[in-house]
Amino acid sequence: MTNIILLGLVSFFADIATEMVYPLVPLYLTAVFGATPALIGLIEGIAESLASLLRIFSGYISDKYKKKKPLAFAGYSTGLIYKIVLVTATSWAGILAARVIDRIGKGIRTVPRDVLVSESADKDQLGKAYGLHQSLDMAGSAIGILLAFFLLKSVSGADDLNFKWIFLISMIPTVIGLFIILFVKEKKSTKAVQNPDPFWKGMKKLDGNLKLYLLVAFIFTLGNSSNAFLLLRAKDVGFSDTTAIFLYFIYNITASILGMPLGRLSDRIGRKRLLVEGYIAFALVYAGFAFATNKPMLIASFVLYGVYLAAIKGVERAFIAEIAPKELRGTMLGLHSTIVGVALLPASTIAGLLWTGFGAKAPFLFGSGMAMISAIILIVLLQKPELKQIQED
């Protein structure tokens, strides 16, 4: 459990740094560079998709060379480069480059970190382990957002220099997270696998439920556009830049509080039920964003969005790690992240175009529909798996 807490603290500080910046990026693009919703959607989609292509290879390398900690450290290190590029950017293209660097780092670190969590967990408490990590992760996000809220509120106006000052401050928690990861212990594994089969040949070994879930993840993500649109929707309803950021804090703190309890619940009642309920919650969330006509409705939607995240993120990692072949665990976690990332480019692009062409309701109604389709597929087709508990490493 100590290793899981350390990994959670690494994510805690990394997410403080990330979320001090992330909710400011769409505001920075619109206030300083005059970006449109369509352009923001394109930037976010490109950044997420290009970086996510690395995740399956990151997982494959983790499985092959059995060196997950150095790979995770390298991924977290890019957070410093990201902030430097943000500070020096002079156009939206520079912001795009910064976002790509940030997402590349996430693409490198996420899978080896998740494998380290699974290897450090008791085999009957996998949901609890991922839930604990998710709670610390989202607590860091919440604190980062709260810091961004107060820092932006304390300065006089959302101008170029004020944004860059916050970007520089966000480097401090990045450095703290890099220091903590040095204390994470990696289990001694067998030597690197020599001349392993290409990862796609391993698909023959996959449980049918895992193949189905990978397909559902793609379908769902087509409607799950960048969170930047949530902030834009908040402004559309009447929230200011600073109060819109505070709404993002509410969503993250809700996910942090519920992450571990829902992870433990999935250990008792099974992953399928939590995944289905999470998708239904998302459908309700996006319907709420579509039809919100006042601030209380939008606040309630952000709270429910946190419930969705707590029900899905840790649980789906536990589900994948649980039924993936041991020798392909990192590859499958990476494949899932890659599939989600590839879907994010059309998702964010579609959302931007729908908003521009048909108004603010359109992208949220589309996302709500895709979530309900995903939930129905899981209800009808996902069988109760013959759980292959995590094998002893």
Confidence of residue 388 (pLDDT cuts 50, 70, 90): very low
Confidence check: pLDDT of 11 > 80: yes
Q: For residues 225 and 322, what is the distance between their CA atoms, to the nearest angstrom? A: 28
Work out the mean pLDDT of the chain and round it to a whole number: 82
Average pLDDT over residues 176-196: 75
CATH 3.40.50.880 fits 2-183+199-381, yes or no: no
Q: For residues 152 and 245, what is the distance between their CA atoms, to the nearest angstrom? A: 9
* Domain boundaries of the chain, sorted by first residue: 2-183+199-381
What are the tens digits of pLDDT across the range 118-127? Answer: 888 877 788 8
Confidence check: pLDDT of 222 > 70: yes
Number of Cβ atoms within 10 Å of the Cβ of 358: 12
Worst-scoring range by mean pLDDT, 92-106, 155-169, 206-220, 335-349?
Answer: 155-169
Worst-scoring range by mean pLDDT, 69-73, 156-160, 286-290?
Answer: 156-160
Confidence of residue 197 (pLDDT cuts 50, 70, 90): low
Per DSSP, 184 falls in state P
Average pLDDT over residues 314-322: 87
Worst-scoring range by mean pLDDT, 134-138, 205-209, 318-322, 328-332?
Answer: 205-209
Average pLDDT over residues 55-84: 83
Average pLDDT over residues 214-232: 85
Confidence check: pLDDT of 47 > 90: no
What are the tens digits of pLDDT across the range 155-165? Answer: 655 566 777 88
User: How far apart, in Å, do the first and last CA atoms of the chain sit?
Assistant: 16
Q: For residues 107 and 196, what is the distance between their CA atoms, to the nearest angstrom? A: 22
Worst-scoring range by mean pLDDT, 84-98, 200-214, 260-274?
Answer: 200-214
Do 210 and 332 meet the contact criterion of CB atoms below 8 Å apart? yes
C-alpha dist (Å) from residue 292 to 114, 250, 281: 36, 17, 16
Look at the pTM and tell me if it is higher than 0.85: no
